[in-house]
Structure 1
């Protein structure tokens, strides 16, 4: 993340991490709204973008989180590490929810929706 004349400041990096994590949580909120409006049965068959498309969008971001988390740990930016770990956990819960819906496991789907709802308010 370069800026004119040099590297990004930690403030700029923190702002970008906040935005990335907000995007992940927004995607989770969109999926939860779809569950509320469509139920589990129709979650994966709703008009595009469906839940799987939304997951693909956040999976791209999640794929680089591990390396970035390591960098933040080395630079003692533990607040940023915590934010990114929360976002990664949210992505994992979304993946598990989509798998549970595909498997028609209503109990697991309900459990994961409850987890996502709680995490959204943290």
Structure 2
């Protein structure tokens, strides 16, 4: 349980750092700042998930879709040089977090199954 809690707070920090950075970038367009705001909001969601993973883990579906979607949409653009090179490592981070979220959703760890309040296996 401790690993996943730390992992979720790391995901929150990742999104908050990138999102707030984009939001506060004076050179960013309105669309860029809006993207930063939404990325930061996902960071808030991940922090909430970290407080009670068994309860809030279904919210990770939004992260799986958003992060894999970002990789699918921006990856080819980054590879073609249409975006700055620093976006590539961010997309790698997104892919790592999305894969871990998906694993957690599809095969929850034993502590999540044992802590199901209604007796059902998660």
* TM-score normalised by L of structure 2: 0.49
Which structure carries more relative contact order (alpha carbon 8 Å, separation 6+)?
A: 1
